[in-house]
Amino acid sequence: MHERMVNAPLVSIRGGRILRDDAWDDAPLHFAAGTIVDENTPGRWLDASGCVVLPGIVDFHGDAFERQIMPRPQVSFPLDVAMLDTDRQLAANGITTALHGVTHSWEGGLRGPETLRRLLPALDGLRSRFLVDHKIHLRFECHHVDGETETRDWLNSGWVTLLAFNDHLPGMRRKPHKWKEWADRAHTDIAGFESRIAAAAARGSEVPALIGRLAGEACRLGIPMASHDDYAIEVRDFYQNHACHISEFPLHREVAEHARSHGSPVVCGAPNVLRGGSHVGAPRAADLARDGLCSILASDYYYPAPLHAACRLATDGVLPLARAWPLVSQHPAKALGLADRGAIESGKRADLVVLDVSDLKAPHLVATLSHGRIAYLADGARLNG
């Protein structure tokens, strides 16, 4: 791969089978100023013969960037180094829009407010060097009562594309064997972490009203909302009544069924598909996708997962690729209100993936285009013009 080719603009892709809606089209695909257009102009084009051309992946929820910031407990690296490396990983896995799941929690450390305080200016400074589009999925831990003011400020910053309500506190209290791991991440010791758990739990009576206030602010700003790890129908109903319409990683099938009965998007982890099940006992995502109960697959903690999970669903006969791929592109874009991407249509961003699926069990990424520019190009890919 030659450096001069990376991030270079293209005017067309020719020779591939293009996914338009839920059908395949052999017509060439043309771009101008980073947008899909109907007419061709002279310039460099990519030969996609033998490949499929798909909308770029819109990753609804990904926190693998945390491992670039803190690859080992209490071992941190500069944010510009971490996020530029993350950007390259995203492009090399077909992700053209990444929602970084940044946690604002009472825990402190990596998942405390310090991370987002530093991350937003770092992302601003790196915009011109990024290959793909970076956005913020603000994961608010519901017992972080003291974090309300700062959360409101971030919601009004223009950076936040999604607000998610998390409540990991009850599960953390039941797992003291993991407190050392979480304490290291939070830059404290076990006694200090136990003290933080107790302080957060003591304010539990304030949580419902806090959620109502933050949900109201998000509604005012037009920011979509998700509830995380819904464990009961009444929990989903609570959030639904606050205009929080997205159910992210429901822990039981009946909760997913209830969410879908209200027309709510249901998000599952793409690693769940690849591993054949959940590592926390949640429903099998492939089963939910087969039954129309999973509408979005997210990378969660592993950036290669969305691309491979969509192909795995097709390989296993769960869904044809033309119906599996929207779970990582069109559906998340729609749920997030990103009307300019997620599908291959005239007027939308030229965010695209060129994929060799001659062996669907081992898909080979040939190229990733972000806003009409090459973000990733495999060796052997053919550029012309």
pLDDT digits (tens, 9 = 90+) for 133-159: 999 999 999 999 999 999 999 999 999
Q: In terms of domains, do 214 and 323 share one?
A: yes
DSSP 146-160: GGHHHHHHHHTTT-E
Q: Quote the number of domains for the chain.
A: 2
- Residue type (1 letter), 261: S
Q: Average pLDDT in the 26-49 region? A: 93
Instruction: Give Cα 299 distance to the centre of its chain.
Output: 6
Q: Average pLDDT in the 306-321 region? A: 98
List pLDDT tens digits, range 333-367. 999 999 999 999 999 999 999 999 999 999 999 99
Is the separation of the CB atoms in 13 and 28 below 8 Å? yes
d(C-alpha 349, C-alpha 372), whole Å: 7
* Residue span of the structural domain in which 35 resides: 1-22+29-55+349-385
Q: In terms of domains, do 119 and 255 share one?
A: yes
List pLDDT tens digits, range 285-307. 999 999 999 999 999 999 999 99
Q: Average pLDDT in the 368-382 region? A: 94
List pLDDT tens digits, range 203-247. 999 999 999 999 999 999 999 999 999 999 999 999 999 999 999
Model pLDDT, residue 10: 86
Q: Average model confidence (pLDDT) for the chain?
A: 95
Model pLDDT, residue 40: 86
Q: In terms of domains, do 326 and 189 share one?
A: yes
312 by DSSP, 3-state: which?
A: helix
Q: CATH number for the domain including 353? A: 2.30.40.10
Q: In terms of domains, do 159 and 73 share one?
A: yes
List pLDDT tens digits, range 74-118. 888 999 999 999 999 999 999 999 999 999 999 999 999 999 999
Model pLDDT, residue 238: 97
pTM for the predicted model, two decimal places: 0.95
- Where do the DSSP E strands lie in the chain? 12-14, 17-20, 23-25, 29-32, 35-37, 45-47, 52-55, 57-62, 95-104, 133-141, 160-166, 225-228, 246-248, 266-269, 296-298, 352-356, 364-370, 373-377, 382-384
Confidence check: pLDDT of 7 > 70: no
Q: In terms of domains, do 101 and 13 share one?
A: no
* Alpha carbon distances (Å) from 84 to 47, 79, 94, 131: 28, 8, 16, 9
Is the separation of the CB atoms in 203 and 143 below 8 Å? yes
Q: CATH number for the domain including 151? A: 3.20.20.140
Q: In terms of domains, do 197 and 233 share one?
A: yes
254 by DSSP, 3-state: which?
A: helix
Q: In terms of domains, do 64 and 148 share one?
A: yes
- Where do the DSSP E strands lie in 252-351? 266-269, 296-298
What percentage of the chain exceeds 90 in pLDDT?
91
Is the separation of the CB atoms in 252 and 322 below 8 Å? no
CA-based diameter of the chain, in Å? 66
Q: In terms of domains, do 223 and 361 share one?
A: no
Q: In terms of domains, do 312 and 356 share one?
A: no
> Bridge-partner residues for 99, per DSSP?
135
Instruction: Give Cα 79 distance to the centre of its chain.
Output: 19
Q: In terms of domains, do 51 and 67 share one?
A: no
Confidence check: pLDDT of 6 > 80: no
Model pLDDT, residue 240: 97
Is the separation of the CB atoms in 250 and 278 below 8 Å? no
Q: In terms of domains, do 216 and 317 share one?
A: yes
Q: In terms of domains, do 276 and 151 share one?
A: yes
